Amino acid sequence: MAGHPRVVVPPPSPTGGRRVTVDAQILGLAYGPRDVVEFLRRAVLDEDAIDLDNPRPIEWRGGGPDVWGAKGS
């Protein structure tokens, strides 16, 4: 992953959101894919290069970009 910041999205919290971090800096709590894209855009990442289905730049834990809601529902 040289040249790419490390983006991590853990499993959904009890409230249903998923924390989004870049290089261990918390960007916010996402409640859907649009939130993830917006947080990464605000982190000055090239919006055109953000591909939530590409496993390289984003480490999805507890389910991929299609898993949202409390306990992965």
**Prediction pTM value:** 0.79
Tell me how long the chain is: 73
Q: Where along the chain do its domains lie?
A: 1-29
Q: Compute the radius of gyration of the chain from its Cα atoms.
A: 11
| DSSP character string of 16-72 | S-EEEEETTEEEEEESSHHHHHHHHHHTT--GGG--TT-TTTEEE-SS-TT--SGGG
Q: pLDDT tens digits for 12-22?
A: 999 889 999 99
Whole-number pLDDT of residue 2: 52
